[in-house]
């Protein structure tokens, strides 16, 4: 009887299981029908694949979950799996996350609670990342081939086999006819993973002898300036800011662009620190600061030299530190005589009393810290500004104190710690001799008929140059060339992808292996695929492996697997990596480098310059001291375009151009607005909410005016990152910016634009 009872019980459980399963599937099928009938309305509400799955799961919960039996030993029931990854965006925070999946379905996505820097919180750009990217209904999941005019966005679906065959054939034909330099890769910080952004792609392009891209649009001018003074960029580490008592946030807006540093700044403030911002725009951070210093755009070099003038005149410098660990103090003293408070006030638009008070407050409060990122580099004096600002901590001896000095980038830690042989070009390809083309000047390169060979093939991945590159209209003119073969690896139909001849569907970070360094923290992250690639998407690395194979290349370095590159990159005996291995980091997803408890790199000098000292003066440089050299505009130009245009990262929900295609983000951002000072608005009879045309010799943008004191008279501010195709008139901020280069580092002097505005 007992055996029969058990059998009957198991039989009933099985029947119950089948009933629940069928009921659940019928419910899902019903939702599929509803889904198909309401595609447009659902799309408008940004309901994507994951949300649909969640709706069906929650809708069936009352039927299934409460009554679902536990069937041990049933191979058809999949168990939950956890994996770890990290944000791949161009951001100093590099957040860690944890993902839970069942089969190929995502069940949970959350910030790492164990990483003390991520601290259980993702930024508002990434908190909904799976829905916004991986499972979004508009995601490209098959290869596409252009059928309409370039820029029309008209494509047909084709197979990977056809796409690879045709692209390989056309690229090979271009190389055979004109050489490898007729091919140009264009990629940047859209994906900062070392595998998907560098390893295999770099090997492929070096192998074919392609033109090299100078990836200098962001960061290089800042780095060049700081290196010329200190010989390294790694100064105070982010978490140590809590020990600072006087914090200057110079040209940076951490509330929006460095969100995980902000809690540490707030902790410092609760410990008694004073927060000062230096920014020509009244940012969110400036609104929260104790003191906002608001110079004219591009005058930071003069301001820093003016502070030095006051510090030296008032004898507020740390002479012992200067004598022991610096070079060129006498030359600096003489140089800053011309940057007296009256002169600097005339340049910066600040009151001379403000300059004097600022200098004294900085020199007399200990520990003092200056936080810089890249905000002030986008001017013709960009590198000089960083060079001058980097001198201030040595002049005052701020480096002596824990929490004092300069906080900039941390990428050098990774440069020392990781095994870069797995990422860098193999010896047979190292130091290529092919020409360099600066990414800032993409428009010029694509339209210059005199360069030999011309650029006839353009590969774009991890970037959206039709939006993010200056002189937008010249870039788009180049992309319109019918004789230019453009290949794009993407998630969405970006403004750049619309000009492509072929689009390949790229995996999202949830679907591929990678290793992620950081330029803003000492935390290393591994990224393990949480799900199998959706549709026909493939990693960037696989795209170039397939092209290499189709083109008949035999070299093994072109075919190394992603996971092998990740493993080899972590094989390092550097003391920063002690205890950090592929196996160990997979358990948490992240690891902090083994650094001294008190990281004070320049307490006793130890600068990485050729002398080992901080260089106030360098006889080996073309410009031996930093100087403020403004752009000279003609009277005609100033009359035509009297307003200085700032194009900055004010959007809260975009990161550069990423996520700027999402309806819910656009709704949260609100109207596309230009900040205009009340006096400038009154002079032009402009009222709040009016529609404007902002224009100069390069283009025009249609935008709504917002009258405020966030900018001074003579300055207007426009947000960057918006896609032109989604705006009235089809132009965004970079239609107005120019492609000038900075004084050092060959970065983009994007903030050197003059415009006029009229009401329409």
Who contacts 614 (Cβ-Cβ below 8 Å, separation ≥6)? Answer: 229, 230, 325, 326, 327, 391, 394, 602, 605, 607
- Quick one: average pLDDT of 190-211? 97
pLDDT in tens, 715-735: 999 999 999 999 999 999 999
69 has a pLDDT exceeding 60:
no
Residue in 216, 117, 85, 91 with CA at minimum distance from that of residue 518: 91
Tokens of residue 262, six digits? 């902000």
Rounded to whole angstroms, how far apart are CA atoms 294 and 299?
Answer: 10
Q: Is the pLDDT of residue 54 over 90?
A: no
Query: What percent of the chain is helix, strand and coil (3-state, nearest 5)?
Result: 40, 15, 45
The residue with greater pLDDT, 159 or 69, is 159
Would you state the structure tokens that stand for residue 247, as one six-digit string?
């914090």
- As beta bridge partners, residue 438 has 214
Average pLDDT on 615-639 reads 95
Q: Measure the CA–CA gap between 244 and 236, rounded to whole angstroms.
A: 10
How far apart are the C-alpha atoms of 616 and 202, rounded to whole Å?
Answer: 37
Report the pLDDT averaged over residues 123-132: 96
Going 519 to 523 to 526 to 530, the CA torsion angle's sign is: negative
Contact 290, 274 (CB under 8 A): yes
For residue 482, the 8-state DSSP code is: T
* Nearest alpha carbon to residue 460 among 425, 502, 424, 423: 502
Give yes or no for residue 120 having a pLDDT over 80: yes
Task: Find the mean pLDDT for residues 141-159.
Answer: 98
Question: Is the model's pLDDT at 663 over the cut of 50?
Answer: yes
329 vs 413: CA distance, rounded Å: 30
DSSP-assigned states of every residue in 260-324: TTHHHHHHHHHTT-EEEEE-SS--HHHHHSSEEE-PPTT-HHHHHHHHHHHHHHTT-S-HHHHHH
Mean pLDDT on 215-243 = 98
Q: Which residues contact 658 (CB under 8 A, 6 or more apart)?
A: 89, 125, 190, 464
Q: What whole-number distance in Å separates Cα of residue 277 and Cα of residue 289?
A: 7
Beta-bridge partner residues of 741: 748
Q: Are 446 and 479 in contact (CB under 8 A)?
A: yes
Q: Which two tokens stand for residue 485?
A: 């073969």
- For residue 42, what pLDDT is reported? 36
Which residues are paired to 212 by β-bridges?
436
Q: How many H helices and E strands in the chain?
A: 27, 27
Q: Supply the pTM of this predicted model.
A: 0.89
Measure the CA–CA gap between 60 and 461, rounded to whole angstroms: 41
Say if residues 550 and 208 touch (Cβ distance below 8 Å). no
Please say whether the dihedral angle defined by the alpha carbons of residues 695, 696, 700 and 703, taken in this order, is positive or negative: negative
Tell me how far apart the alpha carbons of residues 484 and 465 are, in angstroms, rounded to a whole number: 15
Q: What is the model's pLDDT at position 76? A: 52
Q: In the numeric block, which tokens belong to residue 137?
A: 């209904």
Tokens of 41: 């309305």
Please state which of the ranges 4-8, 227-231, 263-267, 645-649 shows the lowest mean pLDDT: 4-8
Which pLDDT belongs to residue 78?
A: 78
Q: Are 234 and 521 in contact (CB under 8 A)?
A: no
Which run of H or E residues covers position 96?
Answer: strand 96-102
| Strand (E) or helix (H) holding 325 | helix 319-325
* Mean pLDDT across the chain: 91
pLDDT class of 370 with cuts at 50, 70, 90 = very high
Taking the alpha carbons at both ends of the chain, their separation in whole angstroms is 90
How much is the pLDDT for 77? 63
- Distance CA(199)–CA(317), nearest Å, equals 46
25 pLDDT above the threshold of 50? no
For 640-675, b where at least 16 C-beta lie within 10 A, e where not — what string?
ebebbbbbbbbbbbbbbbbbbbbeebbeebeebbbb
Peptide bond into 367 cis (omega under 30): yes
In this predicted model, which residue has the larger pLDDT, 178 or 73?
178
Lowest mean pLDDT among 32-46, 106-120, 237-251, 424-438: 32-46
Q: How far apart are CA 121 and CA 96, in angstroms?
A: 9
List the structure tokens of 296. Answer: 């004219």
Rounded mean pLDDT, 86-104: 96
The candidate with the shortest Cα–Cα distance to 713, out of 647, 643, 634, is: 643
Per-residue model confidence as pLDDT tens digits over 554-603? 999 999 999 999 999 999 999 999 999 999 999 999 999 999 999 999 99
Residue 234: pLDDT over 80: yes
In whole angstroms, give the CA distance from residue 285 to residue 406: 19
Find the mean pLDDT for residues 480-498: 98
Return the structure tokens found at 689: 């909410």
Q: Which helix (H) or strand (E) holds 13?
A: helix 2-37
- Give the model's pLDDT for residue 206: 97
What share of the chain has pLDDT > 70, as a percent? 90
Is the pLDDT at 252 greater than 80, yes or no? yes
pLDDT at 65: 28
Name beta bridge partners: 615.
327
* The token pair that represents 404 in the structure block: 């004092």
Q: Which residue has the tokens 């007399």?
A: 364
Q: What share of the chain in percent tops pLDDT 90?
A: 89
Token couple for 255 = 């509330």
Q: Cβ atoms within 10 A of the Cβ of 12, count? A: 11
3-class SS string, 520-587:
CCCEEEEECCCCCCCCCCECHHHHHHHHHHHCCCCCHHHCCCHHHHHHHHCCCCCHHHCCCCHHHHHC
Return the pLDDT at 398: 98
Q: What is the DSSP string of 148-217?
A: SSTTS--EEE--HHHHHHHHHHHHHHHHHHH-GGGEEEE--TT---HIIIIIHHHHHHHHHTPPEEE--S
DSSP element (H, E) containing 467: helix 465-468
- Domains in the chain (CATH in brackets) are 2-64 (no CATH), 221-412+600-615 (3.40.228.10), 635-759 (2.40.40.20)
Residue 21 banded pLDDT, cuts 50, 70, 90: very low
What pLDDT is stored for residue 71 in this prediction? 29
| Mean pLDDT (whole number) for 240-258 | 97
Q: Above 50 in pLDDT, residue 288? A: yes
Please compute Rg for the chain using Cα positions. 28
Whether residue 680 has pLDDT greater than 60: yes
Structure tokens at 517: 């360094």
């Amino acid at each position: 009887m007992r055996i029969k009872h058990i059998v009957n019980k198991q039989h009933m459980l099985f029947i119950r299981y089948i009933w629940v399963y069928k009921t659940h599937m019928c419910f899902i099928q019903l939702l599929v029908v509803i889904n198909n009938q309401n595609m447009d309305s659902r799309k408008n509400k940004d309901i994507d694949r994951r949300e649909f799955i969640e709706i069906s799961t929650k809708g069936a919960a009352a039927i299934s979950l409460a009554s679902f039996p536990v069937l041990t030993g049933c191979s058809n029931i999949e168990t939950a799996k956890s994996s770890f990854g990290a944000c791949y965006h161009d951001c100093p925070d590099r957040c860690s996350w944890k993902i839970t999946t069942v089969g190929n379905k995502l069940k949970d996505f959350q910030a790492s609670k164990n990483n003390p820097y991520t601290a259980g919180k993702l930024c508002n750009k990434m908190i909904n990342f799976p829905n916004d990217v991986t499972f979004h209904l508009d995601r490209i999941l098959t290869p596409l081939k252009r059928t309409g005019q370039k820029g029309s966005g008209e494509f047909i679906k084709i197979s990977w086999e056809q796409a690879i065959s045709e692209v390989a054939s056309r690229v090979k034909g271009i190389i055979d006819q004109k050489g490898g330099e007729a091919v140009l890769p264009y990629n940047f910080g859209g994906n900062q993973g070392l595998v998907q952004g560098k390893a295999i792609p770099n090997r492929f392009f070096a192998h074919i002898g392609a033109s090299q891209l100078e990836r200098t649009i962001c960061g290089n001018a800042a780095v060049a300036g700081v290196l010329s003074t200190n010989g390294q960029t790694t100064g105070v580490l982010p978490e140590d800011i809590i020990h600072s008592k006087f914090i200057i946030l110079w040209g940076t807006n951490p509330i929006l662009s460095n969100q995980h540093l902000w809690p540490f700044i707030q902790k410092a403030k609760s410990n008694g620190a004073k927060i000062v911002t230096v920014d020509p725009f009244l940012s969110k951070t400036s609104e929260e600061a104790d003191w906002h210093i608001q110079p004219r755009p591009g005058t930071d070099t003069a301001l820093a030299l003016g502070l030095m003038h006051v510090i030296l005149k008032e004898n507020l410098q740390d002479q012992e530190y200067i004598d022991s660990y610096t070079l060129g103090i006498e030359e600096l003293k003489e140089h800053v005589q011309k940057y007296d408070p009256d002169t600097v006030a005339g340049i910066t638009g600040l009151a001379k009393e403000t300059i004097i008070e600022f200098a004294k407050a900085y020199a007399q409060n200990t520990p003092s810290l200056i936080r810089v990122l890249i905000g002030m580099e986008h001017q013709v004096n960009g590198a000089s500004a960083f060079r001058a600002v980097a001198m201030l901590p040595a002049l005052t001896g701020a480096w002596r104190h824990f929490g004092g000095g300069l906080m900039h980038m941390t990428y050098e830690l990774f440069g020392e710690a990781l095994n870069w042989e797995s990422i860098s070009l193999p010896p047979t390809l190292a130091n290529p001799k092919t020409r360099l083309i600066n990414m800032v000047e993409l428009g010029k390169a694509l339209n210059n008929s005199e360069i030999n060979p011309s650029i006839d093939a353009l590969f774009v991945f991890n970037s959206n140059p039709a939006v993010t590159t200056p002189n937008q209209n010249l870039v788009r003119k180049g992309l319109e060339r019918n004789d230019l073969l453009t290949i794009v690896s993407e998630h969405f139909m970006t403004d750049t992808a619309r000009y492509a001849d072929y689009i390949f569907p790229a995996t999202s970070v949830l679907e591929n292996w990678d290793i992620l360094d950081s330029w803003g923290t000492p935390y290393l992250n591994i990224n393990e695929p949480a799900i199998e690639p959706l549709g026909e998407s493939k990693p960037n690395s696989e795209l170039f492996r397939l092209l290499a194979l189709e083109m008949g290349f035999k070299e093994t370095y072109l075919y190394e697997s992603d996971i092998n590159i990740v493993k080899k990159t972590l094989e390092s005996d550097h003391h920063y990596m002690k205890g950090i291995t592929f196996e160990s980091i997979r358990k948490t997803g992240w690891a902090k480098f083994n650094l001294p408890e008190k990281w004070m790199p320049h307490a006793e000098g130890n600068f990485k310059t050729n002398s080992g000292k901080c260089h106030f003066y360098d006889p080996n440089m073309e410009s031996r001291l930093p100087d403020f050299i403004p752009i000279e505009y003609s009277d005609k130009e100033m009359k035509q375009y009297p307003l200085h245009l700032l194009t900055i990262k004010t959007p809260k929900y975009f990161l550069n151009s990423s996520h700027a295609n999402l309806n819910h983000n656009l709704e949260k951002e609100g109207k596309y607005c230009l900040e205009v000072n009340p006096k400038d608005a009154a002079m032009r009879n402009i009222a709040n909410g009016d529609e404007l045309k902002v224009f100069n010799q390069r283009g025009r943008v249609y935008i709504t005016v917002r009258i405020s004191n966030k900018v001074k008279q003579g300055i207007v501010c426009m947000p960057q990152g918006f896609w032109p195709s989604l705006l009235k008139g089809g132009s965004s901020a970079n239609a107005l910016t120019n492609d000038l280069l900075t004084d050092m580092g060959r970065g983009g002097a994007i903030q050197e634009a003059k415009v006029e505005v009229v009401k329409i």
